[in-house]
Structure 1
Amino acid sequence: MAKPDIFIGTDSGATTSKTGGIFADGTVISQELRQSSTNSKDGTAAVIAGWVEGVRGFLVDNEITWDQVRGVGLALPGPYQAYGVLDKSANLPASFEGWNFLADYTAALSAEAGRPVFVATGNDGDLGGVGEAHAVRGDRKVGVILLAPGSGLGCAYVNADGLHLGGDNFAGMEAGHMPAPLHLLGNAPVYECGCGKGWGCIEAYTTISGLPQLLRDTLKRYPDHELHQSELPIKQQCFSLRDRAQVGDPLALDMFDFQAKALGLHAANLITALDPAYVVIGGGLIDPESTTPEFRKRYLDGIRDAALPYLFPAQRANIQFVPATLGELSQSIGAALLARHRPALN
Structure 2
Amino acid sequence: MEGSVHFVGLDIGGTTVKAALLNESGRQIGVGVEVRSHGSDGYKATFKQLRAAINQLCSDNSIESSNITAVGIDVPAPSSDGVIWGQANLNEDWVGTNIRDEFSKEIHRPCYMTNDGNAAAYGEWILRPGHDGPLLFVAPGTGLGGGFVLGKGQLYEGCNGLAMEIGAISVPFREEDGSLPECAGKGPGSLEAWVSLVALRRRLKIELDKSENFSHPLAQEQISIKEKAFQLRDYCEKEDPLARSLFQRQAHILGWAMGDQASELDPGLIVIGGGLAETGFRDWYLENVRLGFEERAPSFYVNSPIPPHGVTTRFDWAVGGDYAAAIGVAHKAMELV
CA distance in 2, matches of 1:51, 1:41: 14
| 1:135-284 pair list within 5 angstroms | 135-136=127-128, 138-182=129-173, 189-195=179-185, 197=187, 199-219=188-208, 220=210, 222-223=212-213, 224-284=215-275
Q: Which residue of 2 aligns with 1:10?
A: 10
Kindly state the Cα deviation for residue 2 of structure 1 after the two structures are TM-superposed.
Answer: 7.4
User: 1:38 aligned to 2:28?
Assistant: no
CA distance in 1, matches of 2:298, 2:25: 36
> What secondary structure sits across from 1:297 in the alignment?
helix
Match of 1:126 among 106, 114, 118: 118
- The structure-2 alpha-carbon separation of the partners of 1:196 and 1:67, relative to structure 1 and needing over 3 Å to count, comes to closer
Q: Which runs of 4+ in 1 moved over 4 A?
A: 185-188
Report the TM-score, using the length of structure 2 for normalisation: 0.89
Q: Is the 8 A contact 2:8 2:330 kept in 1?
A: yes
Once the two structures are superposed, residues 291-330 of structure 1 have per-residue CA deviations (whole angstroms, 9 ceiling, x without a partner) of 22xx111001111121124334443122211111111101
Q: Is the 8 A contact 1:7 1:21 kept in 2?
A: yes
CA distance in 2, matches of 1:196, 1:85: 21
Kindly state the Cα deviation for residue 176 of structure 1 after the two structures are TM-superposed.
Answer: 0.4
Match of 1:97 among 72, 83, 95: 95
Q: Which residue of 2 aligns with 1:114?
A: none
1:87 maps to a residue whose letter is: W
> What secondary structure sits across from 2:154 in the alignment?
coil
Once the two structures are superposed, residues 211-267 of structure 1 have per-residue CA deviations (whole angstroms, 9 ceiling, x without a partner) of 132123434384443334333222222111111111111110111011110110111
2:331 maps to a residue whose letter is: L
Kindly state the Cα deviation for residue 37 of structure 1 after the two structures are TM-superposed.
Answer: 3.0
CA distance in 1, matches of 2:61, 2:234: 37
5+ residue gaps, structure 1, are 111-116
Kindly state the Cα deviation for residue 209 of structure 1 after the two structures are TM-superposed.
Answer: 0.6
CA distance in 1, matches of 2:139, 2:167: 10
User: 1:343 aligned to 2:336?
Assistant: yes
CA distance in 1, matches of 2:211, 2:263: 34
CA distance in 1, matches of 2:212, 2:318: 33
1:133 maps to a residue whose letter is: W
- The structure-2 alpha-carbon separation of the partners of 1:68 and 1:102, relative to structure 1 and needing over 3 Å to count, comes to same
1:71 maps to a residue whose letter is: A
Note the aligned Cα RMSD (angstroms).
2.4
| 1:54-93 pair list within 5 angstroms | 54-66=53-65, 68-80=67-79, 82-93=80-91
1:343 maps to a residue whose letter is: L
Kindly state the Cα deviation for residue 98 of structure 1 after the two structures are TM-superposed.
Answer: 1.8
Q: Which residue of 2 aligns with 1:311?
A: 297
- The structure-2 alpha-carbon separation of the partners of 1:311 and 1:88, relative to structure 1 and needing over 3 Å to count, comes to closer
5+ residue gaps, structure 2, are 303-310
How many residue pairs get matched? 327
Q: Is the 8 A contact 2:83 2:99 kept in 1?
A: yes
> What secondary structure sits across from 1:169 in the alignment?
coil
Kindly state the Cα deviation for residue 107 of structure 1 after the two structures are TM-superposed.
Answer: 1.4
CA distance in 2, matches of 1:51, 1:247: 40
Once the two structures are superposed, residues 147-177 of structure 1 have per-residue CA deviations (whole angstroms, 9 ceiling, x without a partner) of 1101001111111132322222322100101
Q: Which residue of 1 aligns with 2:322?
A: 328
